[in-house]
Structure 1
Amino acid sequence: MDATDGPPVLKLGVSDAIAGLALSTEAHWNQTEEDWRVFLHDGIVFGIRDGMRLVATAALLPYSSNNAWISMVLVSATHRRRGFATRLVDACLETARKNGLTSWLDATPDGAAVYGPLGFTPTLQLRRLKLAKSKSSSGPAPAAATLEALRARDRRATGFDRTALLTAFAQRSGSRIAAANGCIALVRDGRIARHIGPLFADHAAEALALVDAIAQSETRPLLLDAVASQGAFLDGLTAAGWTIERPFQRMRFGPATIAAEDTPFAVAGPEFG
């Protein structure tokens, strides 16, 4: 079958959030309906339907300085190996090209092998870690911090202005911005686990102390997407009982447009950057 054959690529709307959630749930991902609404409201989500059923998606989420994130590349198990993911990623890249955007994504090892030949350049690496929680909280919550403080650190580390995204995260029920000793992190709900990130700090020891304080005040499982080059931080997490679930390779398509001032210890997630 030719790559252009088959059902058409469509632009999805906010009303497709539940259908998108069904796809990410099938893949055992951590996104919530609120996450899908961010992509559908603030970005462009392409999809393919089989009749009325949504069977494949890919999202392009614009940020500042002519940058955008590609994510939510999902195909139902019943419709794989038909070229749907390639068509949807191509739609994202073409939209980014028309709008003069540099595209970024966080790829699994299998995905990186696909995206590399398309012209994506590897940048930093990530490690997703999980901490299982099976007992009641045993410690006080760390101090709260302001959204403005988080936004400022986020821009220094990413080069992007992600005020809209961070505001959406912070305003959700159950979200909090925690801080201690110059460190700051966002904690939010996910479908199967709470997520810590982004997380910014000046030193690994302080970052580890903040993560430990957060963990001691939580009861649900926790996920964290650590920057692999923060070796002391990664070592400290695994020593504290966190387990590495999978790696991700951050990749860029197009010219570099930003100059980050520092490196985060953990990111907002492979779907958000």
Structure 2
Amino acid sequence: MAATDGPPVIKLGVDDAIAGLVLSTEAHWNQTEEDWRVFLREGVVFGVRNGPLLVATAALLPYSGNNAWISMVLVTTSHRRRGLATLLVDACLETARKNGLTCWLDATPAGANVYGPLGFTPTLQLRRLKLVRSGHASGPAPSVATLDALRARDRRAAGFDRTALLSAFAQRAGSRIVAAHGCIALVRDGRTARHIGPLFADNAAEALALVDAIARSETGPLLIDTVASQSAFLEGLTASGWTIERPFQRMRFGPATAAGEELPFAVAGPEFG
């Protein structure tokens, strides 16, 4: 079925967070109900229903500086290969066009093959890594840092402001912002693993030291989405027991916007940038 022949596209509300979580859980993604509420509250989430059942979604999350992130492109197994993902991404792009927004997304290799022909341009690459902990903390937690410090570093790296997103992360139970020797990172809960990121540092050695301190103070599995070109950092993680799970390709649709002044070592996640 072509995208133009698809079923009605609807805008979802905050009451659809659980239905969205069902889709991302089916796909074995790490999002929580609170993650879905960020998209539903701060952005726009398009969906397709089959009767009362939500079967497909795509989200557009606006940031400052005419930037927006497309993510949560999900289709339940029984409704794949019907053009629903393209239909919903088109809805995101049309909304972005009307509002003068440049769109970004972090695609899997299969997704990149779809988004390229739509006009998305590849930028940087990411690598998701996982660390399985023993269940016992073996070291003290790093020093606590402020949301303002993280927000300032994030804006310098991204080139645009994400105060609403970082505030939502920081206010959650279990979240912490930590820092040491010029490095700063956010650690938050996920559905199946805790997530480290964004993470900023002056060099790879200090970034690795902060990740090691975080890992030693945690008891469960951890995920981190690293910038692939930070090769010394990536190699240090794999040497210390982290395993690469999958790559992501960051892509842009629309004109380039203000560039960041530094490259992060890890991002907030492929769904958030």
TM-score category of the 2 structures, normalised to the smaller one: over 0.9
- Larger mean CA deviation between 191-200 and 109-118 belongs to 109-118
- The TM-score, its normalising length taken from structure 1, stands at 0.99
Aligned partner of 2:247 in structure 1 is 247
Q: Residue 14 of structure 2 contacts residue 41 of structure 2 at CA under 8 Å; is this kept in 1?
A: yes
The aligned runs of 1:50-199 (5 Å cut-off) are: 50-199=50-199
Structure 2 Cα separation of the partners of residues 205 and 86 of structure 1: 42
User: How many Å separate the matches in 2 of 1:229 and 1:99?
Assistant: 32
Cα distance in 2 for partners of 1:218, 1:95 equals 41
Report Cα offsets for 1:37-66 as digits up to 9, x if no partner.
Answer: 000000000000000000000000000000
1:186-238 deviations in Å (ceiling 9; x for gaps): 00000000000000000000000000000000001000000000000000000
**Cα shift readout 1:144-182 (whole Å, capped 9, x = no counterpart):** 000000000000000110000000000000000010000
Write the distance in 1 (CA, Å) between the matches of 2:42 and 2:6.
Answer: 28
1:4-83 superposed matches below 5 A: 4-83=4-83
Secondary structure of the corresponding residue to residue 232 of structure 1: helix
Structure 2: unaligned runs, 5 residues or longer:
none
The percent of aligned pairs where both chains have the same amino acid is: 83
TM-score by length of 2: 0.99
Using the TM superposition, give the Cα deviation of residue 135 of structure 1 relative to its aligned residue in structure 2, in angstroms: 2.6
RMSD of aligned residue pairs (Cα, Å): 0.6
In structure 1, how many angstroms separate the alpha carbons of the residues matched to 2:76 and 2:98? 29
Q: After TM superposition, where is structure 1 displaced by more than 2 Å over at least 4 residues in a row? A: 1-7
Mean Cα displacement is larger for which, 132-141 or 196-205? 132-141
Amino acid at match of 2:21: L
Deviates more, 1:2-11 or 1:35-44: 2-11
Q: Distance in 1 between matches of 2:111 and 2:7?
A: 23
1:203 correspondence with 2:203 = yes
> CA separation in 2, counterparts of 1:188 and 1:6?
37
Instruction: Provide the rounded CA distance (Å) in 1 between the counterparts of 2:3 and 2:22.
Output: 25
Q: Distance in 2 between matches of 1:135 and 1:147?
A: 28
Checking the alignment, whether the CA contact within 8 Å between 2:6 and 2:83 is kept in structure 1 is no
- AA aligned to 2:99 is N
Aligned residue number for residue 223 of structure 2: 223
**Aligned 8 A contact 2:2 2:82 in 1:** no
Partners of 2:257 and 2:139 in 1: CA distance: 42
| Structure 2 CA distance for aligned equivalents of residues 2 and 183 of structure 1 | 48
Q: Which runs of 5+ in 1 are unaligned?
A: none
